[in-house]
A = this chain, B = another copy of it.
């Protein structure tokens, strides 16, 4: 029911709310990460942007191995010809859709239990990583169980490529010394698991630890491409690139607040409200955000406003497409074609 993805020359022409990606910031983020983590030392995480068009740019920049959070992301990447080496960095109990991809793509799936291993075997998935808990209370087997699981996999004829462990509890620490100590501790656990498991891969890390995780052979980072205000607080060398373009649709008679036409249905809200240059966010409704303008700023009905989301990943997942912009010029449109499950 949404309007056709026409090409617009200028942001002024876009129906709002519209998702914008700032091209110079995006390109700078790609280059900054590629310098620190060239080629296969980075396994970009698709979940952050859910777009095969953007994934193709990373492949061109030398990062043609990817990790995904959902089966739908794996399918979309394989169908787009980006399946040279796809890791589902997540557990599944029905791997049949992954098995169906093994004809045309290289498919690896994380397993952390006999049940998830059995699902991979049943589906004909040929390669796994042993997912190890390194401190985040989420998936991952106990370090002491990793070797046993790897043996069980090999007994089923499945190749074990190595280990995976996500230190997600350390991603957004502001104190980098404390973060460094935490990462060292988590990665000691993963290195121990790796010794028991074998294989070439130690897959770990993310945008928050890309430059201090020395144990991972590949870093699973995705948010660095678009960044959000939450990650930006940590002081990483990446620029904010993602915003939700809105229009001022109403101004209170006294001028003490104004309303724009994008709200919590177009924004990831789990990390809190978005931020705006020149105003404070008062609150978000479904399709509105009420702003308190800073003193000395002037606003008119029809003005364009960019909301900077607190969390990039779920913001992207709410939109059908992202408009690539350079200043106010729309230079491309990328479908967000890897949504849903």
Contact = CB atoms under 8 A, between A and B. Distances in A.
Number of copies: 2
Given A264-B270, A314-B264, A317-B265, A141 B69 contact: no
A302 interface: yes
A18 to B, nearest CB: 8
Interface string A186-226: 00000000000000000000000000000000000000000
A142 interface: yes
B250 A1 contact: no
6 tightest Cβ-Cβ pairs between the two chains A and B: A269-B270, A2-B340, A139-B250, A91-B249, A1-B76, A115-B301
Contacts of A116: 249-250, 301
A142 B253 contact: yes
Contact of A137 (B115, B142, B290): B290
A48 to B, nearest CB: 9
A251 B139 CA distance: 8
Interface string A55-92: 00000000000000111110110010000000000111
Contacts of A247: 93
Interface string A275-312: 00000001111111010000000000110000000000
A83 to B, nearest CB: 13
Contacts of A37: none
Contacts of A137: 252, 257, 282-283, 290
